[in-house]
Amino acid sequence: MNRPVVGIIGNQYLLNDDYPVHAGGMMNSEAVAMVSNCMPLLIPSSPKLVDIEELMATCDGFLLTGARPNVHAEEYGDSHTEAYGEIDRCRDAITLPLVRACVERGQPFFGICRGFQEVNVAMGGTLDPEIRDLPGRLNHRMPPDGTIDEKFALRHEVTFSTDGPFQQLLGAQKVMTNTLHGQGIRDSGSRIVVDGHAPDGTAEAIYVKDAPGYTLSVQWHPEYNAANDPVSRPLFEAFGEAVHKWRASRSDA
| Region 188-215 average pLDDT | 97
Catalytic residue among 72, 140, 221, 244: 221
113 catalytic per annotation: yes
Does 250 score more than 90 pLDDT?
A: no
Instruction: Supply the mean pLDDT for the chain.
Output: 94
The closest of 231, 43, 207 to 154, measured between CA atoms, is 231
Which fold does the domain 5-252 belong to in CATH? Answer: Rossmann fold (3.40.50)
Angle formed by the axes of helices 89-105 and 114-122, to 10°? 60
Model pLDDT, residue 253: 63
Domain parsing of the chain, residue ranges: 5-252
CB-based burial, 216-225: b 16+ in 10 Å, e otherwise: bbbbbbbbbb
223 catalytic per annotation: yes
What distance in Å separates the CA atoms of residue 197 and residue 219, rounded to the nearest whole number?
10
Model pLDDT, residue 84: 84
Does 169 score more than 90 pLDDT?
A: yes
Among the residue ranges 36-40, 110-114, 149-153, the one predicted with the least confidence is: 149-153
Per-residue pLDDT tens over the stretch 19-35? 999 999 999 999 999 99
Per-residue pLDDT tens over the stretch 55-106? 999 999 999 999 989 999 999 999 888 888 888 999 999 999 999 999 999 9
Look at the pTM and tell me if it is higher than 0.85: yes
Sign of CA dihedral 66, 221, 203, 211: positive
Model pLDDT, residue 35: 98
Q: How far is CA 177 from the centre of its chain?
A: 15
| Region 109-131 average pLDDT | 96
Catalytic residue among 59, 113, 140, 244: 113
Catalytic residue among 75, 118, 204, 223: 223
